[in-house]
Each structure stands twice: as C-alpha cells, then as structure tokens.
Structure 1
Amino acid sequence: MLILPDELLCLITSHLPNRDIKNVRLANKRLRSTSTLRFERVFLSPSYKNIEVLRAIAEHIEFRNQVKELVYDDARFAKYTVWREGEVLHEWEDERKPTSEFLLKCEKNLSLVGGHVAGLVRARTGADPKPDEVLMEFDDNVALYQRLYEEQQEIIDQGLDVSALGDALLAFPSLERVTLTSEAHQLGIHAPRYPTPLIKSFPPSFNYPAPWPWSGRFDDHNAISVKPWVEVKNCWRGFSLVLQELTNCERRIPAFTIDVNRNTTGIAHQFLVRRSPELVNLEKICENLERLDLAINIGQCDTFNGFRHLASGHLRHALSKAIRLRYFSLHTSALARDIKGFGDSMADDFTDALRSIPLESWPNLRHLTLSHFLVRSENLLRFLSQLPPGISSLEFVDIKILDMQWAELLEQFKTRLHYEGRKPHIAIALSQEVASRKIWMRSEIARFMDGGENPFVVSSSGNEIRRGFGTVRDDFDESFEEPWG
C-alpha cells in the first residue's frame, strides 16, 4: 500500500469510516498525513462528553471547517430511585417503581441481543467479550446511569449546553443544518441511530433504559397532550433552546430538521394553539430556511386535537415567511389504524391540516413530504395542483385517504395534475405490521405515470399492492431491502 502515490492513498482512505481511519493513522507518519479524519457532523446534549468533543472540534483549525451538521440530542436520562443492596421491592411502593422499571427495560434490551450481556457487547463491538473482560452488573449499571443523570441536571441548571450551542453556531463556517432529534438511542442501546461521543464512550456491557423523550406512544402521552404548552414545554426543552439560539444567531443557517425517524412522536401540538415564544422563533428562522423538516405530536388518538391546531392558521403564518424554501417535510404522530373509524364530521377537522402549508409563498419549492396524514382526495388534488412549477419530487408516507384508495387516486393524479415542467418523481410508502418497515414505490409509480400498469388495485379490504410491485425498507436499518410480495 505504501508504494501508492499520496493522491491515491488519500482517495482510498476517504472511503473509510473514522474508526478505520484512526487505526490507519497509527501505522506510520505517511499514512497519518494522507488519512484525514472527517467531522461533517457534531453532536450536542446536556452531557460533559458531548460538550467536550464539540468544543474540541470547534477549536481545531482543520476539523471545524468540515462540519456541515449539528445534531442536538434531546433524549434526556430519567431519574430512577437507586436499588440498594438487600432492599426488598414491593410493587405497591410507588417510590420504588422507577427502579423496577429500570430492571425491566434492561431485561428487554437483553432480549433483543440473545438474552445475555455478552450479546450486548457483541452488538456494540462486533466481537465477543474478551476472556478477562469484566461485564457490568445491575448495580454498576444503575450507578453509572445515576451519575449521567446528575451530570445532565447540573449542565441544564448551569445552561452549559445552551452556551455551547450558541458558540457552535458561529464556530463552524461550513455549517448548513441544525438537527433536533429524539431518536439518538433508538432502535435501542445496541443499535443507536446517532452514535454520539457520549454513547460511544459507554462500556460495551453498560445496560440502561434507552431515553425516548417527547411523550411518544407511552409514558403519560395522553395526559401531557391535553395540558397547555407552558405546562409541558420543558419536556421539549431542546426544541425551545435550539429555536432561541438559531433566532439569536448572527449568521444564516439554511436548514432546520426535527428528526423522529417517522416514529409516532414529535413536538407537542400545543405550541401551535397561540403565538407561543417557540412559534414566534420558528417564524423568525423561517426567513432564512431553504429546508425545513417538522414533526408534530398531534395528541390523543381519540381526538387528535393537533390536527385542528395545524389548521388554526398560526403555523401557516409562520411558514409563509419561508420564501426561500426548497425542501419541506411535515410528519405527524398519527397512525392510519387509529383514525380508521372516525366519522365524516371529525375527519373534516383532520383533513383541514393541509391548510397549514402555504404553497403560494414557496415559489422555489423542489421537494415535499407528507407523512402520517388523513386527507380527502379532492382536498389533496386541489392542494397538489397549487404546487410551484419547479417541484421535482413528492413523498406520501402512510397517508390515509378517507374517500378513495390509492389505485383510484393515482388515476386522478395522471389525468388531473398537469405540471408545466417535467413530471415530479412520486414516492408512496405504506407501513407493514412491523411499524418501522414500509413498502416503498417509486419507479413503479413513474412507470405508471408514463403509461404503465397501476401498482395498486382496488380492494374491499383497502389499499392493495399488485404482486411483484414495491420494495420493503426499514426505517432503522438502511441496509435492509427486499421485494414486496
């Protein structure tokens, strides 16, 4: 390998992950000079480790110029009561329940990796535990988790992550996107979506409840969804502080993304009820945005008040300021099966949510994604007919059409939607029994729009895909792909 010219060595190592580049750089001085670590993404959370690494990259004259994305991890550690040795836990002792939940969640983690701590080590490192490796016991897990929680609260109390975020927005000259996420530890601790410096620093056998914030499917979801925003906004602390710092920032950051990985969660709909400080700040940053990905938790599945709040006009007013917008995605926490039995009168409230999107204010829009929506066919067709002529791609993820099936609606797309420019690429995704797995259709729809066979057939049981059409993909595993049917 050393006989190769430097230019070729640089090209080869540019395709390696950082983990391998670190090993290559240790080999000799020449490989160190031709193997450059890449830091296109940095992480921040109320964690000393994440703040330390962020500031180290910001102070490095070479690495700081590489950073294009800053991810704020809003998944906070919860407070658990320590399970003292020899202490008997009873289910009626409420103050002891958190510790029992800690144990149950740790057991669930192990069930995903073969039932043993060794499986957790193997999933994280790709190798079996070393013969002399000391695996962490339950008490060790609780003690480390407790320390992480205390450090987190200390940082929040002192606002250290807030000041670090403000500094970081100015420190990285190539920064293009700020991402706020609830999904850093998902699908689970054995396969985190975002391997932050903190997560990578954990001992391989560390077993802990994976934080999943923002009141998703569980944990008082319904109770929180009916309270005023001012009473619950601390659950979405990262949302508030990221918007505030972006508003205060002296430079223009062109992209803001809320990443929930299509999960049934998002920012609480209550912030849309009136002009909350967060909605005002969102309106301010919209003036600079070219890309915006929003995820809204629309509330209890028996009322879904969030759909009404989407249509209230406050969000539309804020989004109308995004006159530079080229890419827009709007996801809600609704599931089609939850709204299947609702009557027409209630459904009308839900389908009005399309009114929150001011297409007339976005002449430069190129891409649009709608995810987890309930629509009437006529409303959707009218909405799509207003798209700007430069639109190049459309995505519909788990869209429930109230009065028509996709087989019929695609025919309407073909005959009623006439685009001045070239036809936009259309993608449709429908969930399977495993929520993270969806059947995607892209090329099949393109062929249909050009005169090919409709990938859907009308069925009494709902949307039915023709055999041999569609590809199954997994939201948590980018490598997973198999033909449908």
Structure 2
Amino acid sequence: MRSPNPATSDSPRQSTSAFLLPPKIVQRIVDLAPNSSIKNLRLTCRYYSQKAALRLDRVFISANPRNVEVFTAIAEHSVFRAQITEIIWDDALLYVRRVPDADEYASSDEEYEDETDEDGEWDKYGINWRGKVPGWFRKACRENVSDMRFYCGVDVDRPSLIARAQQLAEQMPMEEAWAYYQKLLEQQRDVLNSKAHINALEKHVGSFPELQRITITAATHGRLYNPLYETPMIRAFPCGFNHYIPRCWPVPNGIIPECDPWDEDGSDWQGFRVVTRLLAEGRDLGRVTDLCVDAHELEMGLNSRVFERENRTLHDFEAVLKRPNFTHLQLDLMVDPDSEQVDVLSSGLLRRALAGGRGLEYLSFRTCMEICRRSDSEDFHVPLRTIFTPTSHPRLQHFGIAHLYVKQDDVLALLTSMPKTLRSVELSTIRCIDGKSSYQTLLWAIRDKLGWAERDPRPTLTISTELQNIMPGRAVWLDDELYDFLYQGGRNPFGDDETTKDANDIDYGFGWEEDSFEPDHERPHVDLDDLADMGYVRRLVNRSGGNRTTVRPVRSCIYSTWK
C-alpha cells in the first residue's frame, strides 16, 4: 500500500524529518517569522495548519473593501476572533482631487526640471518620473522619495533600509501607479457611500470576547514603504507602489490647518464619531476599557473644536469616560495655529469631559501645538487647571502631557495634587514661559519640592524633546537618566550649570533618539562622530584627534513602566 503523504496525513511525523521537530521548537521558529510567512506555512499541510498559530491580537477597519472583508472574516471566525484585543480604525482617507482633463495632465513638473538629466526621462537617482499623470500626484511621489532619503540620512545599511531601497529601485511607472491609485479611490468612494465599514463595526464590535482597546489613527500609512501598520489594504499594494500618502486629519501632508467648526456629518474624524457612539450605546458589551486617539508624534490629531460647544459626539465621549470599567485614555488633539485655541481648550467642556473619567488609570494628553521660543508665547498658554482636575481621578497611575506652553508653578501644583496612586509621569515637548523657567529648573523643582523620593514606589518621569533639526516622528527620550537624577544623585540631563545657554536642550550623552515609525532607528543621543564610532552612521570626515571604534551601548529600561 502506498505510504501516506505527509502533507495530508493525520500522522505525518513518520515519513518526513520536517515533521519530527517537537511542537515547542516549531513554535519558537514560528515566533520569529512574520505573519505573512506563517500564513504560507499553514497552507502547506494539515500539520502546520494546526501547529503554526497566527499572531492575531488586532484587527483593522477603514473605508477600504479589503480591510472590511478581513475584519468581517476574523469577526465571524470562532477561533481568530477570540484572540483579538484591539480594533484599529484607520482614519486616513486617500487624498482626492479632481481628475484633470486630457490637456491638464503634466508630463513633468517645472519645479523638478533641474533634477532631470540630459535624456529628459530619468532623474539623478535613476527613477523615471515621466508619464501621463496629474502634476500634484507626481510631485507627492517625488516628495516621498525625498523624505525617505532625508530620514535615511547617513545611516549605515540595516535590513529595513535595504528593503525600502529595493522597493524604490523597483518603483512602479507613474502611469501604473496613478491607475492603481484611482482604483483605490473608487473603492474608497464605494465604501464611504455604502457605509460598509461603519456597518461592519456596528455589527461585529461585540463579537470579540477579549476586546480591550480601540485605537483611532490617521498615521497608519506612515512613510514611503514604511507604514505604521501593515493593514490588509497596505499589504495588497504592488511592490514599488508610490502614491500620495495620507498622513493628516483631514488635509494633505505638510499643512497644519486651522480647525474648522465641529461637524457631526461628513468623513472627517469619522472614526471618533462612530467609535464613541457605539461605545456610548454599549455595542461592545462593555468590554472596551481603552480608547486611543493616536497622532503618533505627527502634527495632527482630533479636531479640538469638538470641545468648543455642546454636541452629540462630545456627549458620547463623556458617556464613554463615565463607564465604570473605563481606565485608559490617549487624546491627541489638533489645535489652531493661533491664540484662538486657548478659548477652545479653556471653554470648560474638555475639563468637564475628562473629569467624568473617575476610573481612569492612564491619561495622556497631547496637542499638535508648535513649541518654540517666541515672544507671544503667553498668548498660547492654557492654565493646566482649566483642563485637568486630578481629584477626579483617584485611581490614576500614569499622567502625561505633550506640546503645551506651561508655567512651572502650574506644573508643580498639578503634580502635587495627583493621587498617591501615581506611578509615572510624562512631560514631553513643553515650554515653561514664566521668567527663567526651563526643563532644567523644572527638574530641579520636581526633585526638591514634590517629595517623590519618600514614596514607595517612587514615580518615574519620562521626557521627550524634538530634535534640533525637527523631523516629525523623531525625538530624544529620557527615562532611566531622569530616575538617576531624581533619586540617585545623577546629573541633570539639561545641564547642571544655571548659566547653561539653552536649558531646554538635552545634553549629548543623555537619552536615546527614537523614531515612532522605525523601531530599529534607536540610538544614543550623541554627536555624529560618536555615532560613527558606534557604527550607526557612515563617517563623512575623519574625527579630530583620530577615529576610534566603540561598542554600541545597550539601552536599559529598568525604571520606565508605561512607555
């Protein structure tokens, strides 16, 4: 009799060495593979279909039919849906502009003519930008490539950079990319008109027994060939697909808009309106405990004017915060680039909404406010007491603010009034506007006046600041260095000398530079010579006094708890 085929037999172990591996070894191997590889492995035979488990803990929903299809399939799968703990609403809508008439297509863009070489087709990087596509589309694609090279800088090659460079080398011709983009736009219009994504969430938000968190973000597409999340829609992109990357609520990238009056209809901030309504109605069966409105360090967020006057979405949001089991809120707001934002944030409605979250254990609040040295900074200052009421959060364990103009005494008063349950604090990209106050003086005051050293456990402090050459998504982070300063007699990362020229800049040798879209970018905050010695970047010029090779340091995160 013919021996059983190991690909179909219920007992394949007897005939093929690949099936003789113990299940624990198989699982160790699978743990190192991406989900796409695991899916292919599961298709090879019944054995691996049973032993190679997919890593599924999140599911995506957006105005795209592929995302809706996969969301629905997982929600209706008895095994997969039980693994889901997070739903991510991708709120980034593809940019729509009128399709030009035939004579309005541009074969080139005057702005980039100087980069085209003599044959009139290829630029200096070997990319052919010609083709019958709208000028705005080609311009966006070229800016994507420029941004990609800007963020790469002089870094040495690493796997993620090599993979992106390979996609760039295989970039689709412009006309093919534009045709695919139009197809995506048509699909988006169909979903928005049918509300298929909203209907799917309404029907299935209660189908996930382990659901804890819903995240709403417009940062999903990240950067060229480097998305924040590989949603089913993004995974289906052809290799080398370059396009207008949606990054903002609700305008094109590179623009910080004024916040329009809050609109209860339309597609802008649809995710927040839909999610808060469903949670307020209890469609999730009371399971969701965390809500994250995540700008992911980009200059965007939820339209702050939702807190300007009474409206239905505000009331739904308040109802969500009042749920007895609701514990975690991340709220990233887009604010006006002028002093009118102060009136909105000080209206009292934001404060009322946050105060309703009496069960909150985690509260993070961030704006897209540009923080810099300016003569009119007082006009942009919002007293913290007009937003936060610490006595309303008796169980609070983490508190964080970012991108705000503050007064040092206000910060100290707020932290003093926090409950004893507080375990961690984040104060990122803030600027003290009172007198000579700065990050340097604020740290001295926190160490000397709050009495944190006598607590058990001692609260941890995290701070991030933008790079001096601002690159959205990148920042320098301090955590263990601050613990060392606050409790172990360490140095102040902003300088120990009161005459420090800029006491809001982190000294070299303290902190780590991180990129919110590239985890493998992490490196010590040191100068380029030191980074070259450590092997992070290419050396452009020889170091004065001679080059040297240094072992890369290993980052310790002994005391940080929430980040």
Shorter chain as denominator, the TM-score bin is 0.7 to 0.9
Instruction: Compute the displacement of 1:184 (Å).
Output: 0.8
Provide closer, same or farther for how the CA distance between residues 237 and 81 of structure 1 changes in structure 2, counting only shifts above 3 A: same
Instruction: Compute the displacement of 1:137 (Å).
Output: 2.6
Provide closer, same or farther for how the CA distance between residues 231 and 167 of structure 1 changes in structure 2, counting only shifts above 3 A: closer
AA at the equivalent of 2:521? F
Q: Deviations over 1:239-278 (max 9, x none)?
A: 2122212222341210000111111111112111111211
Provide closer, same or farther for how the CA distance between residues 215 and 221 of structure 1 changes in structure 2, counting only shifts above 3 A: farther
Q: Deviations over 1:418-455 (max 9, x none)?
A: 24442111011111113332221111111111222222
Give the corresponding residue for 1:157. Answer: 193
Secondary structure of 2:364's counterpart equals strand
Residue 211 of structure 1, aligned match among 228, 246, 256: 246
Residue 292 of structure 1, aligned match among 321, 326, 329: 329
8 Å CA contact retained: 1:80, 1:99:
no
Question: Aligned partners of 2:306 and 2:463: how far apart in 1?
Answer: 29
Secondary structure of 2:269's counterpart equals helix
Residue 480 of structure 1, aligned match among 521, 528, 531: 521
Instruction: Compute the displacement of 1:85 (Å).
Output: 5.9
Instruction: Kindly report which structure 2 residues correspond to 1:292-371, keeping only aligned pairs within 5 A, or say none.
Output: 292-300=329-337, 302-303=338-339, 305-337=340-372, 340-342=374-376, 344=378, 346-347=379-380, 350-371=381-402
Question: Aligned partners of 1:217 and 1:413: how far apart in 2?
Answer: 40
8 Å CA contact retained: 2:88, 2:215:
yes
Q: Deviations over 1:253-306 (max 9, x none)?
A: 100001111111111121111112111111001123210000111112x32x22
AA at the equivalent of 1:248? E
Residue 104 of structure 1, aligned match among 139, 150, 153: 139
Give the corresponding residue for 2:220. Answer: 184
AA at the equivalent of 1:262? E
Instruction: Kindly report which structure 2 residues correspond to 1:229-244, keeping only aligned pairs within 5 A, or say none.
Output: 229-230=262-263, 234-244=267-277
Runs (5+) with no aligned partner, structure 2: 1-17, 110-132, 151-159, 527-563
Give the corresponding residue for 2:449. Answer: 416
Q: Deviations over 1:201-222 (max 9, x none)?
A: 1111322100123146867744
- Report the RMSD for the aligned CA atoms in angstroms: 2.8
AA at the equivalent of 1:294? L
Give the corresponding residue for 2:35. Answer: 18
Give the corresponding residue for 2:55. Answer: 38
AA at the equivalent of 1:174? E
Structure possessing the higher radius of gyration over alpha carbons:
2
AA at the equivalent of 1:440? W
Aligned residue pairs, count: 462
Q: Deviations over 1:385-439 (max 9, x none)?
A: 0111011111111111112022211111112112444211101111111333222
Give the corresponding residue for 1:376. Answer: 407
AA at the equivalent of 1:270? R
Secondary structure of 2:134's counterpart equals helix
8 Å CA contact retained: 1:369, 1:394:
yes
AA at the equivalent of 2:361? R
1:456 aligns with 2:494: yes
Percent of aligned positions that are identical: 28
1:137 aligns with 2:173: yes
Question: Aligned partners of 1:406 and 1:343: how far apart in 2?
Answer: 16
Secondary structure of 2:205's counterpart equals helix
Question: Aligned partners of 1:128 and 1:269: how far apart in 2?
Answer: 40
8 Å CA contact retained: 2:493, 2:507:
yes
Query: Which TM-score applies when normalising by structure 1?
Result: 0.88
8 Å CA contact retained: 1:181, 1:260:
yes
Secondary structure of 2:519's counterpart equals strand
8 Å CA contact retained: 1:364, 1:388:
yes
1:67 aligns with 2:84: yes
Tell me which moved more, 458-467 or 445-454: 458-467
Secondary structure of 1:263's counterpart equals coil
Residue 80 of structure 1, aligned match among 81, 85, 97: 97
Instruction: Compute the displacement of 1:232 (Å).
Output: 8.6
Secondary structure of 1:161's counterpart equals helix
Question: Aligned partners of 2:202 and 2:195: how far apart in 1?
Answer: 11
Give the corresponding residue for 2:22. Answer: 5
Question: Aligned partners of 2:241 and 2:509: how far apart in 1?
Answer: 44
If each structure's helix is expressed as a fraction of its own residues, which one has the higher value? 1
Question: Aligned partners of 1:415 and 1:332: how far apart in 2?
Answer: 29
Question: Aligned partners of 1:239 and 1:358: how far apart in 2?
Answer: 24
Tell me which moved more, 421-430 or 277-286: 421-430
Tell me which moved more, 143-152 or 21-30: 21-30
Runs (5+) with no aligned partner, structure 1: 92-97, 116-121
